[in-house]
Amino acid sequence: MHHYLSAADLDRPAAEGLLRRAQALKAAWQSGGHRRDAHGALPLQGQTLALVFEKPSLRTRVAFEAGMTQLGGHGSYLSANDIDMGGRESVPDVARNLSRWVQAIAARVFKHGTVETLARHASIPVINALSDREHPCQALADMLTLLEHRGTLAGLRLAYLGDGNNVCHSLLLLGATLGVHVGVACPPDYRPDPDILAHAERLAAAHGAMITVSSSPAEVVQGADAIYTDVWASMGQEHEAARRRPVFQPYQVNQGLLALARPDALVMHCLPAHRGEEITADVIDGPQSVVFDQAENRLHVQKALILTLLRKDEV
């Protein structure tokens, strides 16, 4: 694996290996820090990750920057105003320039094609830190969170409610690869991309999982081990928020819907959350919520991903 652009870039052994590595990194950090070599250097001493962000960010930016610092490296943040990809400089030229200075690129973009173009023209690893098509780093953190709380992934039932968006796409692909049964409930006009859905179904068939898509929240949530939701209008769709609100209202995660899942079902959200819209405050702030575990785990899975892409053996 030279790049990580899609959750589908990982086969099952690679995905499981990344999660094990993230667990080890998390344990090492909680025990006092990461291992240094015989010369006292951390694994990414002198290494730089370029953070090319067309969109604002809290979790993605801080988790990447903090992760690089913890491993001895540095994160260099470049906003849309700094680069203006496709405007001031072409995407291929950005990729070629950064390849001469840094060791990896994490790109948070609007169009998925932008991160694909970066990868085609870069001689260094490129990570999709979010695009309109996928959010594969978030899916890794979500699977690590499920693994921590349930001890296994294969056979778990994950119910996703709301927009069939980038987060939903990555959950479908990575969940299917890891043997997680993923059910999606969304309005008919907001279903996941058909190509991604078909890909997830093929992966599920190969790994003993099931993919279901329904317009009925109750059907998908029934007996679920975890309920996941996201905002109804993502970044770049704010102008659609008022129109979407009544369409998505039946998909709100609230106490009534939570009661249909397993009694110990986890509540998940990739954040930021709009309390009172896609999820009620009492549910997201309640005892079954693991949303901040998901946020914390972004740090550890992204460290594991960077070390793997840069072929670093150190834990």
**Residues with active-site annotation:** 108, 135, 138, 230, 270, 298
DSSP string, the chain: ---B-SGGG--HHHHHHHHHHHHHHHHHHHTT-PPP-TTS--TTTT-EEEEEESS--SHHHHHHHHHHHHTT-EEEEEEHHHH-BTTTB-HHHHHHHHHHH-SEEEEE-SSHHHHHHHHHH-SS-EEEEE-SS--HHHHHHHHHHHHHHHS--TT-EEEEES---HHHHHHHHHHHHTT-EEEEE--GGGPPPHHHHHHHHHHHHHTT--EEEES-HHHHHTT-SEEEE--SS-TT-GGGHHHHHHHHGGG-B-HHHHTTS-TT-EEEE-S---BTTTB-HHHHTSTTB-HHHHHHHHHHHHHHHHHHHTT----
